Structure 1
Amino acid sequence: MTVPAISFEFFPPQNLEGAFRLWDTVQVLTPLDPRFVSVTYGAGGTTRDLTRDAVATIHKNSGLRVAAHLTCVNATRDETLKIAQDFAKAGVTDIVALRGDPPKGEGAFTQYPGGFAHSVELIEALAGTGSFNIRVGAYPDIHPEAGSAQADIDWLKRKLDAGASEALTQFFFEADTFFRFRDACEKAGIDGSVITPGILPIENWKGARNFARRCGTSIPKWVEDAFEKATRDGREDLLATAICTELCSDLIDGGVDKLHFYTLNRPELTRDVCHALGVTPKAELRNVA
């Protein structure tokens, strides 16, 4: 089996305990030699400063290539581009450009006065600077706000044409979901090799199920049934490792050579799955406080 290139997503800490968890996660996963790691941006821009600080610290102390999430929410164009420029000055030139979720309590995204109307505008502005490698989101299951699967694909093509180099997908439960999406993208003129599957190792089934329902990810009945039984039997972690490893193996067998893991700052399951896929430690982490 081909050993995949891997990358990881982290989220910024909001308290001291969260900071320790993030650094533990970085320490556990850095030896696996990811091609990059990303740091998320909270709904409504709520973690803007925390994201900036986490990105700068990981970049400075770990030697990892760090991609900062950047959204269109609650900021003017100038403010958003200033944030991007600050990242570049700190040596961070990878951006995951997203429209972003609306602030908590608001039902739909509304363009901020003087802000970007959508992700394509943000991507065009970032690409225009010539300073960034830009990644974007993609949705194998229909985005809750999209009119159809084809609308999702057409929007992804616009984002790539605007200057993005790679698309990271929302998580999914079955490899065929990704393959159908990739085939449809290729039919629409998108190079399938730029689409990287997003993988969610299921640390907590209840939380993962609720997240899937919110973001429109289809949950197969067999997954529901398996986790219900495993939870009763106290074998949830074992099942999660097996399901995630099998999903990744099926993707690799289908020609996928890159995987992006949503770690939720809980590294053990991600590490175990990577080991099962033949991703072995390359180096020890240094200089992390």
Structure 2
Amino acid sequence: MSRMPQVSFEVFPPSPKTEDRFWTTVARLAVLQPAYLSVTYGAGGSAKDRSDAVLRRLLRLRGPQPAAHLSVVDASRAETDDLAKGWIDAGVTRFVALRGDMPEMGAAFRPHPDGYGGAAELTSALKRLGATHVSVGAYPEPHPDHRGGDSDLAHLHGKFAAGADDAITQYVFEPEIFLRYRDRVAAAGIDKPIVAGIMPVFDFAKVSSFSRRCGASVPAWLDARFAPLADQPDAHHAAAVETAVSFCRRLQGEGVEAFHIYTLNRAELTIDICRDLGWATPARLREAAA
């Protein structure tokens, strides 16, 4: 029997209209006792203030360990350091360090003239400032700004050399893509943990659109499975759970020990996936359903 993996969740800061629902979602996810709950930052730091509010409230609630996403877009080194130091002083010591996307959708990355050049420099700064754990991004399929292959691995090498503790992958839908990538990373001499990013198909049309923008391939079988279910929410939900569970079981069977679920602030889907995988006790599931 496989041992229990490390499971973490990602959420994004709510708008004022969705704040009550967001905190209900967080309370339900917290019952599953994730290793940590990461809070996104938004393109160009567009959700910075809301991220700050969420992180500080999570600390007060003394629930799951919060992890702060941080990017280098549109900020000087001093501004980035001040923000990170404020979070560290408040008690947030786990970070997800990302280069980040420009505020304009699809725009090429332009470093701030006084800012960090990318995730490796940001990782080094966070460790210098007192972060105890820094995760970075990894790309089983080529990053849209790179050609893949050795280029992506070179970037990953640089981030680990700067002090990163593990890497969370961009999601993929074929287990073999992740497993081949893991083998390439190991063959390149990288021995740090590679965490599998899991994207449940909460809405096939939206996931397909987002995948095209971020360079994640959508296999034909996924289209065939979900396209007919567009007007059948219960059947779509069941299919989303089943495909995510099948994917995770395959990776667990190949020795993958850490998973990061992009929850999209949807508690029900994440809870059902963890239930079917046996990643939550019956008592926790009953509490999460309450």
* TM superposition score normalised by structure 2: 0.93
- Three-state SS of the structure 2 residue aligned to 1:136 is strand
* AA partner of residue 108 (structure 1): A
What aligned pairs does 1:156-171 form with structure 2 within 5 A after superposition? 156-171=156-171
Greater shift in the superposed pair: 72-81 or 57-66: 57-66
The residue number in structure 2 matching 1:29 is: 29
The residue number in structure 1 matching 2:276 is: 276
Q: Note if 1:199 corresponds to 2:169.
A: no
Once residues 21 and 80 of structure 2 are traced to their aligned partners in structure 1, the CA distance between those partners, rounded to angstroms, is 28
The residue number in structure 1 matching 2:207 is: 208
Structure 2, gaps ≥5 residues long: none
Contact 1:168 1:196 in 2 (8 A): yes
Once residues 33 and 65 of structure 2 are traced to their aligned partners in structure 1, the CA distance between those partners, rounded to angstroms, is 10
Work out the percentage of aligned pairs sharing the same amino acid: 40
- Three-state SS of the structure 2 residue aligned to 1:246 is helix
Q: Deviations over 1:180-208 (max 9, x none)?
A: 000000011111x5100000111111111
Once residues 39 and 131 of structure 1 are traced to their aligned partners in structure 2, the CA distance between those partners, rounded to angstroms, is 16
- Three-state SS of the structure 1 residue aligned to 2:107 is coil
Once residues 45 and 96 of structure 1 are traced to their aligned partners in structure 2, the CA distance between those partners, rounded to angstroms, is 13
Once residues 180 and 158 of structure 2 are traced to their aligned partners in structure 1, the CA distance between those partners, rounded to angstroms, is 20
Once residues 117 and 209 of structure 1 are traced to their aligned partners in structure 2, the CA distance between those partners, rounded to angstroms, is 30
Deviation for aligned residue 1:131: 3.4
The residue number in structure 1 matching 2:88 is: 88
Contact 2:74 2:112 in 1 (8 A): yes
Q: Deviations over 1:235-285 (max 9, x none)?
A: 21111111011001101001011110000101111110101111224769x
The residue number in structure 1 matching 2:236 is: 236
- Three-state SS of the structure 2 residue aligned to 1:272 is helix
Judging changes above 3 Å, is the alpha-carbon distance between structure 1 residues 272 and 134 closer, same or farther for their aligned structure 2 residues? Answer: same
* AA partner of residue 211 (structure 1): F
The residue number in structure 1 matching 2:250 is: 250
Q: Note if 1:265 corresponds to 2:260.
A: no
Q: Note if 1:59 corresponds to 2:59.
A: yes
Q: Deviations over 1:62-111 (max 9, x none)?
A: 42111000110111101101111001111010010101101125711111
What aligned pairs does 1:7-18 form with structure 2 within 5 A after superposition? 7-17=8-18
* AA partner of residue 119 (structure 1): A
The residue number in structure 2 matching 1:219 is: 218
Greater shift in the superposed pair: 225-234 or 115-124: 225-234
Deviation for aligned residue 1:13: 1.0
For the aligned residues, what is the CA RMSD?
1.8
Number of equivalences: 283
- Three-state SS of the structure 2 residue aligned to 1:225 is helix
* AA partner of residue 166 (structure 2): E
The residue number in structure 2 matching 1:179 is: 179
Q: Deviations over 1:101-148 (max 9, x none)?
A: 011257111111211111111112122234331110111111111122
Contact 1:21 1:265 in 2 (8 A): no
- Three-state SS of the structure 1 residue aligned to 2:163 is coil
Once residues 62 and 225 of structure 1 are traced to their aligned partners in structure 2, the CA distance between those partners, rounded to angstroms, is 43
Q: Deviations over 1:17-53 (max 9, x none)?
A: 2x12221221111111111110001101111111111
Once residues 278 and 189 of structure 2 are traced to their aligned partners in structure 1, the CA distance between those partners, rounded to angstroms, is 33
Contact 2:175 2:251 in 1 (8 A): yes
Once residues 48 and 148 of structure 1 are traced to their aligned partners in structure 2, the CA distance between those partners, rounded to angstroms, is 30
* AA partner of residue 86 (structure 1): G
Structure 1, gaps ≥5 residues long: none
Once residues 258 and 82 of structure 2 are traced to their aligned partners in structure 1, the CA distance between those partners, rounded to angstroms, is 31
* AA partner of residue 15 (structure 2): Q
Judging changes above 3 Å, is the alpha-carbon distance between structure 1 residues 231 and 16 closer, same or farther for their aligned structure 2 residues? Answer: closer
- Three-state SS of the structure 1 residue aligned to 2:170 is strand
Once residues 25 and 73 of structure 2 are traced to their aligned partners in structure 1, the CA distance between those partners, rounded to angstroms, is 28
Contact 1:21 1:266 in 2 (8 A): no
* AA partner of residue 202 (structure 1): V
Once residues 34 and 232 of structure 2 are traced to their aligned partners in structure 1, the CA distance between those partners, rounded to angstroms, is 34
